[in-house]
Amino acid sequence: MVTLISRSPEETAALGEQWGQAAGAAWVIGVNGELGAGKTQLVKGVARGLGITARVHSPTFTLLNEYSGGRLVLFHIDLYRLETEEQISTAGLEEYFYRPRGVAVIEWAERWPAFRTPSSGIGPAHFLSVRIEPLTESQRQISYESFGD
């Protein structure tokens, strides 16, 4: 596991941008952290790294925002309003969890059982598990681990 300190929202977005530039089709990035931790800021960076110029915003009420126009399509999913595996399944989001036809970034990923223990091999072919923890008003501790190919 890698742990680093982001000292600003721009640094958080820059890390996401690096991941967006490196991302391949069917990548899934699961992001966990409390409200206001910087999850959406990270997703904005992923979008920028994919070459997406659209304004990225949290899909808290829509559950899923799809952004095209970049090297790959970005599926930005927010599971905050879904509390159970059944609710997530009923919402029809599972197709994005294993082999999305682009890159899926899932906020509140710990709500889906396979993402809680990604080393079990049940999840996507390439999964990046991310945890963002606020340290101060502007600093965040970002820990991440990559699973799969």
Tally of domains within the chain: 1
27's tokens:
């990548």
The CATH number assigned to the domain holding 106 equals: 3.40.50.300
What whole-number distance in Å separates Cα of residue 48 and Cα of residue 82? 27
pLDDT attached to residue 94:
85
Is 6 or 149 the better-scoring residue by pLDDT? 6
- Report the interhelical angle of 39-50 vs 9-22 (nearest 10°): 40
pLDDT exceeds 70 at position 143: yes
- Domain hosting residue 107, numbered range: 2-148
Could you tell me the pLDDT band of residue 121, with boundaries at 50, 70 and 90?
Answer: low
pLDDT attached to residue 51:
98
